[in-house]
Structure 1
């Protein structure tokens, strides 16, 4: 049997482990965490990601706990409505998604709790890097030029118990900052982003929360209400890191999936979706072809599309966090809002806006 080592047990790694044929492959899943994280904010699942979830057999369980969404309002930071985009999707918590994927991983998959730094020692037919933006697999096979790059943007996010009315949800764009409010089954998911010199690693959540409150002191009442309720122990704060542009996700015996391949700014809400699609695509191809042929086909299917998304997300992030010309930007948002549909299969994702952080 061919052997496959998956490095990383997050969304992409669990999805791929559950998709590989246990009668054909000996699969080992390497993950440094002993348990799944219990905290986490909401993730939007658009139709193509829901198709991947259906292929994995977890769509129905997630629908039972997820929250459907059919529109996405966009506002100025003061609370003036700019646009109301149509949407077709659902919101699930990261923990619920990880738990559902973990439950369908076959018992035949060997699980190893460890951090992998040296990919050469794995000795598998195929090594898959599902180990995130700071991927050891990417560095080991693509070299130091592929190292993750830190952006000047700090993302702060969390969940508060207050459940805001539906008309208050959406994304609020200000000068050099944005704030989002979305549904969560435990209350309200919130996030904000702005340029900061905190970090780039090990950002203190309390310090980040204090800065967020100061920056949004004159924002709409619902934003101030959420930030007043937020606590450091339920807040995540980190600088945003991205991967550089890659011309291929395959090198020798290795392939990259998810954030290891195309970590992007979160402005399109596509990160988790594309990780799922990567995993299902690669798993299906490995089930039908020789490993070499499957890796080549996967690269053709996924690299160009996700690199376009990575670039488009970066552009949208710069627009959302613009430091000047807000009136012109807001008029453009209103124009796009009249013409765009978020999350539709037949509409390019580059035209959509972010739902969650």
Structure 2
């Protein structure tokens, strides 16, 4: 049996490893000239690690990149809006890790035969019969997996009339700052903008910033330093130490709920199926879940029945997490002064059960 995977990012490579370990012939088509990931830090939460455990890779990440859960959310002045009991979170759900995206891609590639990886291949059309037209000609397989991101060619080929991704109204910057001591993983909210930081295993600091902005607007590090100059320590110092060459900016999109993730002999996973705002840190974790679930379902049940089972199991869960992620981040992007003042007054007084409605469904998944 053969599977073609369109897209060589984290979700696609995880699917490739899952199918390869089950004895399938694997062909991964990646548009970029090399299999790597341009990006910064990536938090893998307990459910994502359990997905990697299926492939025997979870402990490799645990050994090199253990991290703390989010300690909480602070106001721009430094006062706490939400405090999490990180020890209790780890006791209840398991370990968190943080890794550079490129390192995770390298780990996944190392678990695949070299001939399975085809870089520099631009996919142009995917058919429901298992055919893939691309810049190198055409390929056919028993199964095609579209793991080609929010602008998925696979999705457009198979569902040409479906609505495309929706800009959520804010843009995101990511960067890594040279090693320095910080208090842990913390997010800070203002009016229409926020800043998060998390220590990396080597002592460097992964930072992410989000701000309301028109789509396609672009601003560099000087703008960020000015914008967040009055925020609590260590935010101004982190931005002062940042290298402009490390700053990445991407607009934030989510995908409207699709009526199905499968058609014929093809399936979507990851952002191609359910791109979400990064407010719960679940984008990569859901792609990892997708990948191992798809491989298990198809390999044990056959292509047709396995795809039906994959869609039945994964679509409700991932579309729920898209909604939860949208709701979790919305208050950070309010711009009304009275409304944000009410937010800042109410959040410290809310019971823990209010926040658990979003985190418990994400962390408790098991293969």
User: Gapped runs of 5+ residues in structure 2?
Assistant: 91-95, 128-132, 134-138
Aligned residues: 343
CA–CA distance in structure 2, aligned partners of residues 77 and 237 of structure 1:
22
> Residues 59-87 of structure 1, C-alpha deviation per residue, up to 9 Å, x if partnerless?
12212221321552210011112222133
What does residue range 1-357 of structure 1 map to in structure 2 within 5 Å? 2-21=1-20, 24-37=23-36, 39-85=38-84, 86=86, 87-88=89-90, 89-107=96-114, 109=116, 111-120=118-127, 121=133, 122-166=139-183, 169-186=185-202, 187-197=204-214, 199=216, 203=218, 207-324=219-336, 325-336=339-350, 338-339=352-353, 347-349=360-362
> Residues 103-155 of structure 1, C-alpha deviation per residue, up to 9 Å, x if partnerless?
11245635353111212334322111000000000000011424222232110
**SS of residue in 2 equivalent to 1:53:** helix
- With over 3 angstroms needed to count, the CA separation of the structure-2 counterparts of 1:260 and 1:153, relative to structure 1, is same
Q: What is the alpha-carbon root mean square deviation over aligned residues?
A: 2.4
- With over 3 angstroms needed to count, the CA separation of the structure-2 counterparts of 1:140 and 1:71, relative to structure 1, is closer
TM-score in terms of structure 2 length = 0.86
Cα offset, 1:18, TM superposition: 0.5
Contact 2:192 2:334 in 1 (8 A): yes
Deviates more, 1:295-304 or 1:22-31: 22-31
**SS of residue in 2 equivalent to 1:312:** helix
**SS of residue in 2 equivalent to 1:166:** coil
Cα offset, 1:266, TM superposition: 0.3
Deviates more, 1:178-187 or 1:7-16: 178-187
CA–CA distance in structure 2, aligned partners of residues 23 and 59 of structure 1:
18
CA–CA distance in structure 1, aligned partners of residues 207 and 348 of structure 2:
23
- With over 3 angstroms needed to count, the CA separation of the structure-2 counterparts of 1:101 and 1:194, relative to structure 1, is same
CA–CA distance in structure 2, aligned partners of residues 336 and 348 of structure 1:
19
CA–CA distance in structure 2, aligned partners of residues 54 and 260 of structure 1:
23
CA–CA distance in structure 1, aligned partners of residues 105 and 20 of structure 2:
20
Deviates more, 1:21-30 or 1:219-228: 21-30
- With over 3 angstroms needed to count, the CA separation of the structure-2 counterparts of 1:336 and 1:136, relative to structure 1, is farther
CA–CA distance in structure 2, aligned partners of residues 344 and 264 of structure 1:
14
CA–CA distance in structure 1, aligned partners of residues 284 and 240 of structure 2:
29
CA–CA distance in structure 2, aligned partners of residues 93 and 61 of structure 1:
14
CA–CA distance in structure 1, aligned partners of residues 328 and 61 of structure 2:
29
CA–CA distance in structure 2, aligned partners of residues 263 and 164 of structure 1:
33
Residue 355 of structure 1 aligns with which residue? none
CA–CA distance in structure 2, aligned partners of residues 53 and 23 of structure 1:
15
- With over 3 angstroms needed to count, the CA separation of the structure-2 counterparts of 1:223 and 1:211, relative to structure 1, is same
Contact 1:312 1:350 in 2 (8 A): no
Cα offset, 1:99, TM superposition: 1.4
**SS of residue in 2 equivalent to 1:96:** helix
> Residues 272-295 of structure 1, C-alpha deviation per residue, up to 9 Å, x if partnerless?
100000000001112201101110
User: Gapped runs of 5+ residues in structure 1?
Assistant: 352-357
- With over 3 angstroms needed to count, the CA separation of the structure-2 counterparts of 1:344 and 1:307, relative to structure 1, is closer
- With over 3 angstroms needed to count, the CA separation of the structure-2 counterparts of 1:228 and 1:144, relative to structure 1, is farther
> Residues 308-339 of structure 1, C-alpha deviation per residue, up to 9 Å, x if partnerless?
11112112222221112123212343244744
